[in-house]
Structure 1
Amino acid sequence: MTAPGPALTRVRAAYTRIAETKRPEIWIGLRPQAETEAEARAIDERLAAGESLPLAGTVAAVKGNIDVAGLPTTAGCPSYAYEPAQDAPAVARLRAAGAVVLGTTNLDQFATGLVGTRSPYGAVRNAHDPERVSGGSSSGSAVAVALGIADIALGTDTAGSGRVPAAFNGIVGIKPTYGLVPTEGVVPACASLDCVTVFARSIPEADRAFGVLATPAGRTAQLAARRPGPWRVAVPATEQLGELDPGWAEAFEAAASRLAHAGAELRRIDLAPFTAAAELLYEGAFVAERYTAVGSFIDKNTNSPDLDPTVARIITAARDLPAHRLFADRDRLAVLREQAMTALGDADALLLPTAPGHPTLAEVAADPLGANARLGRFTNSANLLDMCGIAVPAGEVDGLPFGVMLMGPGFTDERVGAIARLLTPVTRLAVVGAHLSGQPLNHQLVGLGARLAATTTTAPEYRLYALDTEPPKPGLVRVPAGQSGAAIEAEVWELPMEGLGALLAGLPRPMALGRVTLADGTSTTGFLCEPAAVEHAADITHLGGWRAYRAYLANS
């Protein structure tokens, strides 16, 4: 029997994870497993034939306001649903690169909200604390990635919907420069501001997907030449950030310090024009564009139980805004944009908390408008000011993820991503089996930005077993004191800390992460196996390693 390829293996693991997590509120439309397995088999055949598919072995989730052929596009409202004739270009590009789309995900209805609770399909609970919001509007996409179901997910971002959910769930969210990723096939929130975004558990994973999605010639821009020197990062004084949740100011200052220790040059910035621009998004006339998108549908279906009352209230309130207010707000925004860019100067990026706090579901239910408005304090301005951004994990506060955001002028996406990497601590991982160089799962490490640091062996206190799994993999078990073990071939890889979390999230039993002692006596995190799983497995210790065992099978 031929072992399944990486695409099929990953698809099967995704559906196993869906069953394990028991989070039906993530999904609006989930494709049948048989259908996605057939697609994965075709991808594996293309790989075997030598085709280059940069996202092969990757599974994706897509926000429910983005067209996926074969599934209804609902935008979080069942009565609005339509059957798309084809994939949105962003989805088509993922599929062309070898990603398998699992389904469409829940969202704040019509992409209106930053909380993830405004949906007739149910509130999407946070991946780490089910009593807290997941963040919206791209709630289901973010949680699917955070729980290890999907490797990447598409969201959208008008006011922060591709960044706030990333921060609340401890993952990465890329909001590109407007126009770099096509928005055709996306139900608009504010068409002149909407961006298709990417969620992933690590920056390298997010970058791989963004590289597939982006259209470099989508817009043109004249960027000033960058003055040589270290990265320059603008950081506001803590008192300019306003009220933050307890511990968040200290976590933000720690993130800024990490950038400085990594070699970035920090400089103070006046945040006033950025926060003033952020207030215009909902408090000004720009919200009228939301009525342009779906207002007529809401007017015709006022009494529909499908409509979220908060969303309907926000959109219909924009119907009667006078045109002169929009022109006045556009003039005001032009002034604020000039002030903001002047304040930024030659800094490469602006560092901010992604959000000022993380509310509970109960707090949002008690004050749906106020709690939501607070969450957009730092994110609302990005698209109005034509900036790109990336939200990245920056530690924990009281056991929950804390995230920061880096924003830069339009078309500096690559620079901003490079600076974000300075916030990413590196860890080491020992591998002895299918993740070794040249083995079937090594692409998972490479895709997470890992690099080979050393080729070595374990200390002579382990035994190696051939497990009955698909794809085949070994089980490494430390022997009890007094029993004989052996040195097993190993590689040590360096990878971003969040990449290790990504591996752990998708790690199937009986595999586990633990401490592995190496030949030089040092220990590092590595792949081990639950002892009970090797009771009936073949002991292959005498061969010295997984590669030798595979060579033995090939020659026998």
Structure 2
Amino acid sequence: MNTTTINLDLPSLRKAYLSGEQTPARVIAHLLERAREFDHHNLWIHRATEAELAPYLERLAHSRPEDLPLYGVPFAVKDNIDVAGMDTTAACEAYRYRPERHAAVVAALVEAGAIPLGKTNLDQFATGLVGTRSPEPWGACRNSINPDFVSGGSSSGSAVAVALGLASFALGTDTAGSGRVPAAFNNLVGLKPTLGRLSVRGVVPACQSLDCVSVFARSAEQARTVLQVASAPDAEDPWQKPQPTGRRPIPHQFRVGVPADAQLTFDSEEARQLFQNNLADLQALGGEPVEIDFQPFLDAASLLYEGPWVSERYLATRPLIDQHPEALLPVTRSIISQGATPSAADAFAAQYQLRKLKALADRIWEQVDLVLTPTTPGIYTIEAVNADPVTLNSRLGIYTNFMNLLDYSAVSVPAGFLANGLPLGCTLFAPAFQDEALLALAARLHPHTVDRVGALTDALDSPPFEATEGTIDVLVCGAHLSGLPLNHQLTDRYGTLVETTETAAAYRMYLLDGGPPFRPGLIRDTEAGVALPVEIWRLPADQFGSFVDGIPAPLGIGKVELADGRWVSGFICEPIGLESARDITSLGGWRGYLASQ
């Protein structure tokens, strides 16, 4: 592999390391040299020195790619997340300090073999969605595709680093959209994980109760890899939540909520058309559009800056803003200073209002499996934002500000390009801890919208994958089949049909005594058995126990072999159940038996 064409996709990089075609030292040296070409984008606050990188490379020199899931993977870190030995500034010189420990998420990634290349630019104290609120000597971070336009913020430099091919992935934060907006403006996948999934120990607080670490990636599959490594439990973080046992799978034929047309905001007909194209793409992938009332989401979004949550920003910076207010940009200072005035009564009143809005918003999950929105109404030039910094910044948060207040998971997916060559994004969101399920759908949608990565000519590699985390697959062969009397026992538990297939040619089927409902018994018989039609259903793991508890003797759950050699959990029958049963194997399965009656 020529160092001038290094592909930073995780699978490509791993293949190059395993073959010996590349080494981490050569890749990092190339990236540091190439980074100098993009200094005018103002994406770094600190680019790592050779001395700072030496310990990471030394460790990898004594490790094997096979042993570390992120061996030699270069990544960038937003400069409000601690990297040991590299200063943290949050884009404020007076706030500068040098941490001795990595932030918990950085530590998990480094342990897996990843290499931090430096600290990236941001809107000061993560207060902004534009990327222009960074003072000199750093300055406004510029869009990776057209430097006259905003990069999005506040995680501006992290997005631009990935989009320009200077890192395989990057960490940002996303309290109000800071991970999704820059992803949309730089043609990347931007994952805002469930609030509390990733540790925020070692992250400079913005709104501590709403902060979460976000991931910028070249594809949804790669975002998933980073997410799962970064999800290491951290006993020192009081904000981290344990992951639930069960996750609700998104069906192959899914219902997608779409705001009523009057509740959608766009800056141009072109942006509206991109969104309509995204919806059409989801329909082609099995989505059924369902119009929803988006007002509770919009009302929740207004609470973030118009309510007392801005007091959390004030708490995070109070010593600095009280004693050295000149250290903050005027626009940052004016926003954060508002947090000094709300009272405890204001905070409780806002919490009551949010609880009502969440109850209204959560009703939507009875109607849909996920919601699709634009990520932003449009994209602006730096000049336009400088002329009207508050209004345009606020406009970018219409579809993002409510997400953590309502405790939803979200991913921004490239939506396509405007005629001026600038990208926009669309957002998929769902209840908490649906991160992998959303990423699996994003992986299928992404190739429909664009064919390249970031600002590069690299071809998009977005392979589909199944989101099986927190689920259990169950084989059914009788009354639980689709449309039959007991199928509701699966659907009532949010089960979804995964596939219709056959067993290995090693099973016989019997009609058991009793009923209605009448039931078959499946018996393994490697000598006289045949292949029989079955269905595979996916259940949330925390629903599996109650499902099994309702299964009467002589039936039970065991392992059943499929025609392709896989073994899955499924219905089997105890031999005692066959004493007065009738062999119906020749009828070709349970539906064949029903047809014969």
TM above 0.5: yes
Matched, 1:265 2:284: no
Residue number in structure 1 paired with 2:447:
425
CA distance in 1, matches of 2:244, 2:464: 33
Q: Which residue of 1 aligns with 2:183?
A: 166
Instruction: Answer yes or no: is the 8 Å Cα contact 2:74–2:116 preserved in 1.
Output: yes
Could you tell me which residue of structure 2 aligns to residue 542 of structure 1? none
What TM-score results when the alignment is normalised by the length of structure 2?
Answer: 0.69
The 5 Å alignment of 1:341-380 reads: 341-380=362-401
Q: 2:436 is matched with which residue?
A: 414
Residue matched to 1:297: 320
1:269-418 equivalent positions in 2, closer than 5 A: 269-304=292-327, 307-398=328-419, 399-418=421-440
In structure 2, how many angstroms separate the alpha carbons of the residues matched to 1:162 and 1:206?
A: 12
Contact 2:248/2:434 (CA < 8 Å) preserved in 1? Answer: no
Contact 2:254 2:286 in 1 (8 A): yes
- Measured against aligned partners, the alpha-carbon deviations of 1:393-438 in whole angstroms (never above 9, x if no partner) come to 12111111121011110111111112212212279x9xxxxxxxxx
Change (3 A) 1:4 1:419: closer
* 1:269–1:344 CA contact under 8 A, matched in 2: no
- Does residue 27 of structure 1 match 2:50? no
* Shift in alpha-carbon separation, 1:223–1:333, aligned structure 2, 3 A: farther
2:115 to 100, 104, 109: 100
CA contact (8 A) 2:76 2:117 kept: yes
Change (3 A) 1:182 1:229: same
Superposition deviation, residue 39 in structure 1: 2.5
Partner of 1:144: 161
Question: Match for 1:235 among 258, 261, 268?
Answer: 258
Identity percentage of aligned residues: 45
Equivalent in the alignment of 1:52:
67
Deviation at 1:235, TM superposition (A): 1.3
User: Displacement, 1:206?
Assistant: 1.3
Matched residue of 1:101: which SS? strand
**Structure 1: distance between partners of 2:103 and 2:75:** 14
Three-state SS of the structure 2 residue aligned to 1:234 is: strand
Counterpart secondary structure, 1:129: coil
CA distance in 1, matches of 2:294, 2:441: 20
C-alpha change, 1:79 and 1:420, in structure 2 (3 Å) is same
Distance 1:283 1:119, change over 3 A: same
Mean Cα deviation higher: 36-45 or 387-396: 36-45
The match for 2:78 is 63
Match of 1:333, SS? helix
1:292 to partner: Cα distance: 1.2
| Distance across 1 between alignment mates of 2:261 and 2:318 | 39
- Name the CA distance, whole Å, in 1 between partners of 2:116 and 2:367: 40
Deviations 1:452-478 (A, max 9, x none): xxxxxxxxxxxxxxxxxxxxxxxxxxx
Alignment partners' CA distance in 1, 2:398 and 2:460: 36
Task: Provide the C-alpha distance between the structure 2 equivalents of 1:190 and 1:40, rounded to a whole number of angstroms.
Answer: 35
1:356 maps to amino acid: P
> Structure 1 counterpart of 2:76, which letter?
A
- Corresponding residue for 1:251? 274
Amino acid across the alignment from 2:82: D
CA deviation vs aligned residue, 1:197-218 (integer Å, no higher than 9, x gap):
1101111221111110114783
Q: How does 1:78-157 map to 2 (within 5 A)?
A: 78-120=93-135, 121-157=138-174
**Cα distance in 1 for residues equivalent to 2:379 and 2:199:** 31
Q: Which amino acid aligns with 1:418?
A: A
Q: Distance in 2 between matches of 1:67 and 1:4?
A: 32
CA contact (8 A) 1:389 1:406 kept: yes
Q: Is the 8 A contact 2:249 2:437 kept in 1?
A: no
Instruction: Give the 5 Å matches for 1:499-538.
Output: none
Contact 2:149 2:381 in 1 (8 A): yes
Per-residue deviation at 1:246?
3.8
SS of match in other structure, 1:383: coil
For 1:22, give the aligned amino acid: D
Question: What is the CA deviation profile of residues 136-187 of structure 1, one whole-angstrom value per residue up to 9, with x for unaligned ones?
Answer: 1000111001100011100001000010000001111110001110000000
Amino acid at match of 1:273: P
Structure 1 pair 44/224, CA: closer, same or farther in 2 (3 Å)? closer
In structure 1, what residue type is equivalent to 2:374? Answer: P
How far residue 44 of structure 1 moved from its aligned partner, in angstroms, is: 4.1
CA distance in 2, matches of 1:285, 1:135: 25
Contact 2:105 2:232 in 1 (8 A): no
Paired amino acid for 1:410: A
* One of 199, 214, 219 as aligned partner of 2:242: 219
**What is the letter of the counterpart of residue 126 of structure 1?**
N
State the AA in 2 paired with 1:184.
R
Change (3 A) 1:378 1:46: same
- Displacement after TM superposition at 1:24 (Å): 6.0
Counterpart amino acid of 1:122? G
Distance verdict in 2 for CA 1:225–1:209, change over 3 Å = closer
RMSD: 2.6
* Offset of residue 4 of structure 1: 7.1
Tell me if the contact between 2:220 and 2:440 (Cα under 8 Å) persists in the aligned partners.
no
Determine if contact 1:344/1:350 at 8 Å carries over to the other structure. no
Structure 1 residues 10 and 450: alpha-carbon distance in aligned structure 2, compared to 1, 3 A threshold: farther
- Does the Cα contact within 8 Å between 2:194 and 2:433 map onto a contact in 1? yes
What whole-Å deviation, never above 9, does each CA across 1:360-393 have from its counterpart, x for those lacking one? 1111111111111000000000000000110111
CA contact (8 A) 1:155 1:199 kept: yes
Aligned-partner Cα distance in 1 for 2:23–2:459: 13
Question: Runs of 5+ in structure 1 lacking a partner?
Answer: 430-443, 452-556
Change (3 A) 1:385 1:204: same
